[in-house]
Structure 1
Amino acid sequence: MDWLGLNFISELPAGGQLILQCSYSPLLVLLAYVVASAASFTALNLAERVGHAERRGARLMWRWVGAFCLAGGIWSMHFIGMLAFQAPVPIHYDLPTTAASLLIVFIAALLAMHTLGHEHLRPSQYLLAALCIGLGIAAMHYSGMAAIRSPASQYYQPWLFALSILIAISTSLIALLLALYFRNGDGFFHQMLKYLASLVMGAAIVSMHFTGMWSLNLVAPLGTPLQLQPAENSLQLGLTIGLIALLIIASGLSAAWADRKLESKERDLVRVNALLSQLDHARASLQQAAHYDALTDLLNRRGFNQVFAEKLQEHIQCNEALAVMFLDIDHFKRINDSLGHDAGDEMLKVVAERIRSTVRDHDVIARLGGDEFCILVSLRSGDEARQLAHRVMEKMKDPIALFGRSLVMTTSIGISLLPEDGQTCEELLKHADLALYQSKGSGRNNLHFFSAHLKSKVSLELQLEEELHDALLKDNGLQLYYQPILDLHSGQLSKLEALVRWHHPQHGLLSPDRFIGIAEANGFIAELDAWVLRRACHDLKLLGETGFAELKIAVNCSALNLGRDELVQEVQDALLSTGVQPRRLELEVTENALMGNINRAAELLQQLRSLGVSLSIDDFGTGYSSLAYLRRLPLDTLKIDRSFVQDIPEFQQGMDIVQAIIGMAHTLKLKVVAEGVETPQQLEFLREHGCDFIQGYLLSRPLPLPVLRDLLHRFSTTPMSA
């Protein structure tokens, strides 16, 4: 068999010289193996790109790039392997035949990449593809051998020739299977396996080439001079081809890596856009749900406030009247208490439907919470709001069938009008609410408009607000009174509680319950607390200078002020400005103020404790504190609310509660102060059960500082017997 001058099954000629002195350049053999391994690694990576590319054009591009890199790598390996071959006869290469060999291996590589583009093929299809690719690689090898121009003729041993073709087909099948295996996977271990597989594939490709070379016998005519050719040119050319091949392969790898990163970012961007779209839909749904009451399908408070603001602006611009009607169900709590909350919910649905059926289409209805509803009514006549309110009240009196019972409910209504009763949403709502409470206070099942009496009451509140703010700014009229706290162990007055009073020029001495609420509602409770703190520290300094250096003062901290980050700095400034030792100051916070935001409160109290200030929980027993949370707080003292102390000794249950609180506080390493102690019997009971401190009218009413000094001197000379 003779093909392109190659003899595969012909016997060696009788008249000729068999060339046996052939050798290989180890460096070029190693380079051929490196190029083959690099081409294998590139093929595996580009097979991943073909499998993962989402666009058809991208898959087609990566098939061609992969085919080019794989073909270039295998052909370069073959050519470098040929350059590594050193024989004692001159060897040259025919360029067209060499180019033809490159074209053959490119077609085989393109077939390989095309096969890898299909994720699911039958085993027979893989075998057929491996057969075609292997034969293509073998054809490339032997066409490259046919490009040799030399005085010697090429004869091949048939069984080694067949073995080289079998190796080429087997290598092709293994390469296809490995590429499919490595298409899906990620991570360090996956990458290491890919490197190992590339080395194995490179060895298989090189072994095919050198098996073919092993089968080669060169026979030169008799008389041909035999002399081993110099290897310098072959080495230089081989290194150049190897470098070019590796650069091309590296470019393909770089392009694949960059495309993978870009595709990953594109997928991430698509996912982000999808999440953003879902988030927008969710936000829209939440916003819709946030504006409507789930139970009655009426506007809720947030939705109502938005609609009210728009409607108010329209009526002011058009100079039209508007009525705000507040209504709630009389004695609605009885329904929840007697029939349960499910019955209460059904009642609210019925009430909502009755209101909706009574008012006009353009009127606005909202459920603001609980059993409280609000209606905005555009008025054409002055008596229209009253007529609508009466219709609603009459409609409510119809019997309601609820859980097998027939109930008759009534409603109370309060009404404020634009523009008479206010120009803002807040004013109109507040005034309608005041009118509602007036209706409930006058016997329920009634309606009231915001009246002149209520106006004067509101005006008084506004006046007190302005004057209190002015008193704070000018430090005029506010004064601290102090109620002594007795240490039952030593019999000494060891602490004072600072209580603010307001000497009003018209209304006389006002207690805190008359103006603290005004300060909290109008946003300057922090200023009032800061004033009390500074004045208490100032008075504490004066008391220290007059012989009471160990006396402590407890200052109340409002719930609203407890959430302010500036509180710690204000306490520190007050102590530094007066030179008072932090241990002489105690801050009192109420139970409900602590539990309102336990995590924030714990953090803030810890910062205060780090200053050296003592901390006390006030009005204990009236709130909803959890003992699990209470033990986490850095507290020093617990104050039992006066409502429990007043039950002593008349009510055993109250006495048991006080005794339990004392035991619990001592378990938590807290000192106990009992408030509101007014009788010797209460004092004796508390002393007997281990209470640490007491305060109340039994000792003294709250006193201004000048009067307080006399009391302190009396107790310092004559302590109360323990």
Structure 2
Amino acid sequence: MKLKLRLQGQYMLVTFTLAVVMTLTSAAVHLWLASNHSQRLLHELTVQNSKTFRTELSKRAEQISSYLSKSMFDPLYMYNLEEAGYLLEPLLQMDELKSLVVFDSKGHVFHDGDPSLEMLGRDLPFPYDVSAVLSQGQRIHEFSDERLVIIRPIRAEDEIIGGIFIEFSLDKVDRDIANMATLIDSTNDRSQKALYLGVLGAAVLLLSFSALMAAIISRHWSRPLVKLTEQAESIGRGDFKLAQAMSTMKRQDEIGHLTIAVQSMASKLEQRTQKISHLAYHDALTDLPNRTRFIQHLQGTIKSYPATSFSVLFIDLDEFKVINDNYGHDSGDFLLMRLAEKLSTCAREITNDHPLTMISRIGGDEFLMLIPHLKTTEDVDGLLKKIFLAVRSPILMENEELVVGGSIGIARYPQNGKTAEDLIKNADIAMYRAKADGKNTHKVFTPKMLKSVTHRANIERELRRSLADLQQFELWFQPLVCLKTGRIMGAESLVRWRHPVLGIISPANFIPIAEETAMILPLGQWLIERLCFQIQQWMPYFAHDFHVSINISSKQLYRQNLVEMFAFYMEKYHVPARTIRMEITESLLLQDEDEAERTLKEIRASGIEVWLDDFGTGYSSLSYLRRFTVDGIKIDQSFVRDIITDSKDQQLVQAMVAMANNLDLLVVAEGIETKEQANTLSRIGCEIGQGYYFDKPMPVDDFVKKLINESESNIIEFKL
């Protein structure tokens, strides 16, 4: 209202014609200059706003891609889909995010945030060539009219294991820019109208007064636009202080409204930037610092306090997967949040809130702790006692007590590493050693551990690569011999890895790794197919009762449909079920007895015999014979090794054979290395033997030659 009255009063002062002519002439020049200046400022403001919005989006996109390229290395390297899903889930809530894909070194989809994992292993769903990204570490940052695309590699030092594709839609940015441009244009139009009215009102004054008033009015209307332009530039640089200072401008006109709108935009951008920054450095579930923030803190501690001793603890929960499987992921998340609180409280109490202390959740069920001033063994033992007490104490949830254990690895500064990366890596190595030694314990890093872990990592890396060339894996065969006649009754198939560079690799070096990483599933399927193929080649030449056994792992039994798989390959290669025997160990049955019982019944119903391997080494061998229906047992070689000199072993084996005969079970004795052992086993009633006395496991060609040489029939030609 004040603005209208002032302009109306000024307009009424136009009274003198000469003054009007002279004033209008002078005012016209000033109006033209003011209008030109105003238009230029408006254009700069519009352009700057556009740059600001796009620059802000680009910065956020770079920050997110940088965060993901670091945090996704471990999940991709370890093929941990669950951890990858945890990391991607909060980012997928962003309005601007259109697409997010994590891909592996072969250019296949590893994770796109979809819990169903329908795109896992498929070709990339976008038209960009990522070969330069994967081979040279090149980054792609492409801004178009409709979207922003960022592709960058996932790498550690010189090793590139995959990449990240992020696509942001510019629809929201374009709408914000268009709305701001409309508001600026509207404000400028009204400002120009007010300026013209002011000049006309001042026309009644003298030429000098008219010129002075025109200059004052021009300055009065252009200054807020200049301030708004400076504010937009400041926001574009990420400095929001000027926007706060603008709040002192109290105007009731459109310029005031525009100032308030820009301030509101700056406030929202600042809040969003802070939220993204917090998300980039904190775990979404527990709100603890994440791996990136922990590394920054650790690097800062080493740089600022190089003479201060401290320890890095790597904590991994034992059997946490059981909680998720039995109670659900919500319960697992609840346990992690409560455990994070307990560990944080424990760390503060132990260190008396020392500023260098930090606890971080780096993903899944893994935590890192930085604890200063642990100089003696007594200090370490006291700390670990409190941490184990915090980890193992029950957590109550809906009248259920959730209990987990933990394995802890410790790396000391500077003895076990002088960089953040080395300390975390060595603490991780020590933690895995603690797990290998029985879990629920701790280990302090020693240099010997590094050699073992490096060897394991090399085997795992080569094993992953070999999945693209499964021909590297061969089935070798060890004869099963009738102890009375010496006739070869069948064979046990054993996998061997013929690496193109490392040569033959023992199963003991890669089967446990394949089990832990689930790579045993594609490998096991390949071996089942090769077994059926090999039996097909032999069938025309061997006796009706000849058979070949194959060992089945726990993950195959519980995660693969073995019945359908065997049925498919037996039909494909026209192999009868009687020629195949499936061997399982007692420990395999411990994991889920009900599921194991169901699967074994289906296997036997299909015609495939099921044998219990390493019999006698478990805690419940007899109870398994009562619950699970099997066709035979294989006496473990630990009972055969000293059967000549140890009467107890001989009596135990004799009892096993007698029991098996009473239950109508066949018996095979493993690990026979001498003629005396074979004769003793034959004398006490064991019919079939296996061991180095007869032959070591051998490639298929050598096995065929042995059969041809020892066959009683006249085999003239044997083709494979």
Verify same fold: TM over 0.5.
no
Instruction: Name the TM tier (shorter chain).
Output: 0.3 to 0.5
